[in-house]
């Protein structure tokens, strides 16, 4: 990983965000966010998304939601969580331009990250997105690998609390930058001139 300067990201127009661990607090290993009451926005996320919106960039979520395949919650439950999320963001004049979900278990599809199906669907919906103007922001090797397979730049959310692992080390080596949070990334690299 190399920590690039803000100028390296000035042409970014499409910001692809993982959900759990980037937008909301990631549940513990083997557990899932099954309803809005379990969904906890991370500090500063609303303002960070608003800054992306106001800078003219698209903020697009791409999220694996294996809990649907496991029967822990339904697609309707997930849609309600995301509707409530959009309502919460709207209170801070922010919004997500699109949310793409993989509800499958491993090996059942081509959309579960690190596979690229969710991104490819987004590229069809946003045809002006190309390798030079998009970035993925995620907290796991899956996110970083998916973006890099498509020639995208990648930013790793790494707040230092995760246990050291080969996956984390590889994610750090593949990402262009490592930051402690989404607000940190937006402040330092995408909207450094905006007042916070």
How far apart are the two ends of the chain, measured CA to CA in Å?
27
Rounded CA gap, 83 and 160, in Å? 31
Does residue 148 register a pLDDT over 70? yes
DSSP structure class, residue 101: E
Across 168-184, average pLDDT: 95
Q: What is the DSSP letter of 41?
A: B
Q: How many CB atoms lie within 10 A of CB 27?
A: 16
Query: Out of 79-83, 147-151, 190-194, which region has the weakest mean confidence (pLDDT)?
Result: 190-194
Placement of tokens 């290993």 in the chain: 29
| 131 close to 149: Cβ distance less than 8 angstroms | no
**Residue of 14, 155, 24 lying closest to 97 (CA atoms):** 14
| Residue ranges per structural domain of the chain | 6-190
Q: Is 18 a catalytic residue?
A: yes
**CB hemisphere CA count around 92 (13 angstroms):** 19
Identify the pLDDT of residue 195: 52
Residue 37 and residue 85 in contact, taking contact as beta carbons nearer than 8 Å: no
Residue range 3-8: mean pLDDT, rounded: 65
Q: Report d(CA 118, CA 9) in Å as an integer.
A: 23
Greatest extent of the chain over all pairs of C-alpha atoms, in Å: 45
CATH number among 3.40.50.1000, 3.40.710.10, 1.20.120.80, 3.90.1150.220, domain 6-190? 3.40.50.1000
State the pLDDT at residue 3.
60
20 catalytic? Reply is yes
pLDDT tens-digit series, residues 47-92:
999 999 999 999 999 999 999 999 999 999 999 999 999 999 999 9
Q: Is it the case that residue 39 has pLDDT exceeding 70?
A: yes
As a whole number, mean pLDDT of residues 184-193 equals 90
- With CA atoms as reference, report the closest residue to 64 among 95, 32, 41, 40: 32
- In the set 18, 47, 143, 158, the catalytic residue is 18
């Amino acid at each position: 990983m190399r920590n690039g300067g803000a100028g390296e990201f000035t042409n970014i127009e499409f910001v692809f965000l993982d959900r759990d661990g980037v937008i909301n607090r990631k549940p513990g290993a083997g557990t899932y966010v099954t309803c809005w009451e379990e969904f906890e926005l991370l500090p500063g996320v609303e303002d960070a998304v608003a800054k992306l919106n106001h800078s003219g960039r698209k903020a697009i979520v791409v999220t694996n939601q294996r809990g649907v395949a496991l029967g822990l919650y339904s697609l309707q439950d997930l849609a309600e969580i995301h509707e409530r999320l959009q309502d919460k963001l709207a209170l801070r004049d922010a919004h997500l331009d699109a949310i793409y979900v993989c509800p499958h278990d491993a090996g059942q599809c081509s959309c579960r990250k690190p596979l690229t199906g969710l991104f490819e669907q987004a590229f069809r919906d946003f045809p002006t997105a190309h390798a030079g103007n998009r970035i993925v922001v995620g907290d796991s090797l899956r996110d970083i690998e998916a973006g890099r397979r498509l020639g995208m730049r990648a930013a790793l959310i790494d707040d230092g609390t995760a246990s050291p692992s080969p996956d984390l080390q590889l994610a750090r080596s593949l990402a262009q930058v490592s930051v402690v949070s989404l607000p940190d990334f937006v402040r330092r690299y995408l909207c450094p001139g905006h007042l916070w």
